[in-house]
Amino acid sequence: MAFLYLKALHIIFIVTWFAGLFYIVRLFIYQTEASERSEPDRSILIKEYKRNSKRLWFGITWPSAILTFIFGIWVLLQVPSYLSQGFMHIKLTFVFFLYIYHFACHRIYNQLQQDNYKYKSQLLRIWNEVATVLLVGIVFIIVLKNALSMVWGLAGLIIFTVLLMLAIRIYKKIRESK
pLDDT digits (tens, 9 = 90+) for 90-130: 899 999 999 999 999 999 999 999 999 999 998 999 899 89
Position with higher pLDDT, 64 vs 3: 64
Q: What is the rounded average pLDDT of the residues 162-170?
A: 83
Specify the pLDDT at position 143.
81
Residue 102 assigned as binding residue: no
Position with higher pLDDT, 47 vs 84: 47
Residues whose CB falls within 8 Å of the CB of residue 157, separated by 6 or more in sequence, listed in order: 133, 136, 137, 140
- The alpha carbon of 70 is separated from its chain's Cα centroid by a whole number of angstroms, namely 18
Work out the pLDDT band at 147, boundaries 50, 70, 90. Answer: low
Q: What is the pLDDT of residues 3-58, one digit of tens each?
A: 899 999 999 999 999 999 999 999 999 999 999 999 999 999 999 999 999 999 99
Q: What pTM, to 2 d.p., does this model score?
A: 0.85
74 vs 79: CA distance, rounded Å: 9
- Domain range enclosing 148: 2-177
Q: What is the rounded average pLDDT of the residues 58-72?
A: 97
Residue 89 assigned as binding residue: no
Q: Considering its fold, how many domains does the chain have in total?
A: 1
Task: Pick the range with the lowest mean pLDDT from 18-27, 139-148, 163-172.
Answer: 139-148
SS3 string of 56-101? HHHHHHHHHHHHHHHHHHHHHHHCHHHHHCHHHHHHHHHHHHHHHH
Q: Do residues 122 and 129 touch, judged by C-beta distance below 8 A?
A: no
165 vs 4: CA distance, rounded Å: 37
Specify the pLDDT at position 35.
96
